[in-house]
Chain A
């Protein structure tokens, strides 16, 4: 199996292309009749779908993975756990799933990129959906401690002013 295109994409950080590359490669390899499932990088494939926020495809991929692989490759299970939290909209749980596993080197790059992207998305969501939000909830949504959240230490956060226990969220000025 020729994973050169996939490895190139990972090396050049074109993470949004990974899902498509994996999908097409899988169809080609399956058509050859080669038994490929044991060596297939399911964790990366799942994370590729999660990165572009296509949780439906991630779900279907998970359903098609044979149980033997689910039992023998904990990284695949951990990758799905992130998807599962996204599916059930457990916004805070996503961070736990990201941090709760010791990822291999190749997967770590993708997970870190997703983590950053997810925090950014969550922040944009908070900005658009809330006029005031409790520090506690904001901290949960952004996956940081209440102290960090109240000090706005994250690179993407812009001016937020603390009003007793609540943030008033202003539009990003920068």
Chain B
């Protein structure tokens, strides 16, 4: 008990200047085990500490406090305590102990889910990410936790800000997999299919030494979203995907591959039969809704294909070719596609005809020029960044070792070992 009290005094005394905080950190690291041993008696001591001043010390105490099993009643008070801590803590202090901070936040998420109130965790988790990140390009272990809370509480819009940031640094591969998978699901929910494809593509083509479940589920959704957005599914993974993925993913997602094949034949009746026959499989994967969206996108594809052949077509003809029940249904489909900008056409109800038009975009407007300009700027920044990374990599000793072993040898000098260290 004495040592805990002593520790509290030290925290209160050593939390002002940066050098003090560093020495405090050493003390706390040494005291960590004893804190965990006294975890059940630590709660009253938290009242003596101010999370907005003594963030590091508070963090250590909080982590030790919440280490054991938590009942639903306790969860209520812990959740509030952690949420307030996250809002008021000093970012520089908690960044000295990022693992502890992540552990506390993950427990926060668990407790919020135990209380069945994921909505409570959304705002604090976002604050936690902002405080933990060293920059907006840094993907922390809390990113996927945040997206999970957004998904469970159906606050898809809240996840948007995180998804729009470019990611450059990743702590753990699993974080990236989960982040992109959940991000893909959120994008699907908001019907941003292009973004969803981008994120799911990242999961499927990420380096992996063995197939993981996240990649398999992502691939299933990737096929379906490809059908909805592009009207065709990717037949083969790109070359930069890992060989493990290229060899195994298709075998593990057989029903989806067959669905995609059926889709490419263009016959609604066939695909509907296939879906009906395999409903259980899709449902157990929680993909039935997405499958149905893919099927209904077939009508759109078929109508779009008509624009490539015809200048005008009667509504009755459209209905026949696309296998709709009536010209009125065809009209409603075409109207919806015009509204969504998926087709350029005008309907002539008097004659019952549809006239297909060219894309009126002339690429001459100010907005278009601004759009192109900002794209060029973004690409230039990206290119600079890649050059910087490339230079860093070519100085990396591990890379040099491997490249050196496999390099071509034309000269006597080439038979020397690759220098691993320069002693200057």
Contacts and interface: CB of A to CB of B under 8 A. Distances in A.
Contact of A26 (B76, B87, B119, B351): B119
Interface stretch (A3-11, A122-130, A144-152): A122-130
Interface stretch (A56-64, A73-81, A101-109, A111-119): A56-64
A57 B153 CA distance: 12
B157 interface: yes
Contacts of A63: 154
A27 B122 contact: yes
Nearest to A37: B119
A28 B339 CA distance: 36
Given A129-B335, A129-B338, A129-B345, A30 B122 contact: yes
Given A33-B80, A129-B338, A131-B355, A56 B191 contact: yes
A134 interface: yes
B189 A60 contact: yes
Contacts of B123: 27-28, 30-31
A27 B154 contact: no
Contacts of B355: 131
Contact of B332 (A27, A89, A133): A89
Contacts of A166: 349-350
A41 to B, nearest CB: 16
B87 to A, nearest CB: 8
B339 A129 contact: yes
Contact of A131 (B87, B120, B348): B348
Contact of A57 (B156, B336, B351): B156
A167 to B, nearest CB: 9
A130 B155 contact: no
Contacts of A56: 156, 189-191
A23 B155 contact: yes
Contact-size category for A:
20 to 34
Contacts of B120: 30-31, 33
B183 interface: no
Contacts of A84: none
Interface in B323-339: 332, 334-336, 338-339
B339 A23 contact: no
B163 to A, nearest CB: 15
A131 B347 contact: yes
Interface string B123-156: 1100000000000000000000000000001111
Nearest to A124: B339
A23 B348 contact: no
Contact of B346 (A30, A31, A129, A134): A129
Contacts of A32: 80, 83
A38 interface: no
Contacts of B155: 23, 27, 60
A163 to B, nearest CB: 7
Contacts of B119: 26-27, 30, 64
B350 A163 contact: yes
Contacts of A96: none
A27 B123 CA distance: 6
Interface residues of B, number: 35
Contacts of B124: 31
Contacts of A60: 154-156, 189
A132 interface: yes
A131 to B, nearest CB: 5
Interface in A40-67: 56-57, 60-61, 63-64
Contacts of A134: 349-350
Given A27-B119, A27-B122, A60-B189, A33 B349 contact: no
Interface string B50-89: 0000000000000000000000000010011001000100
Contacts of B190: 56-57
B158 interface: yes
Nearest to A136: B349
Given A27-B123, A30-B120, A33-B83, A130 B189 contact: no
Interface in B214-269: none
Nearest to B77: A33
B158 A130 contact: no
Contacts of B350: 132, 134, 163, 166
A125 B331 CA distance: 14
A133 B348 CA distance: 7
Interface string B168-200: 000000000000000000000111000000000
A45 B80 CA distance: 26
B349 A64 contact: no
A26 B120 CA distance: 9
28 contacts: A23-B155, A23-B157, A26-B119, A27-B123, A27-B158, A31-B121, A32-B83, A33-B80, A33-B120, A56-B189, A56-B191, A60-B154, A60-B189, A61-B154, A64-B119, A125-B335, A125-B338, A125-B339, A129-B334, A130-B348, A130-B349, A131-B346, A131-B355, A132-B349, A133-B349, A134-B349, A137-B349, A166-B349
The 5 closest A-B pairs by CB, nearest first: A60-B154, A27-B123, A132-B350, A31-B123, A30-B119
Given A23-B158, A31-B120, A125-B339, 9 more contacts: A23-B155, A28-B123, A30-B122, A32-B80, A56-B189, A129-B338, A130-B348, A131-B346, A134-B349
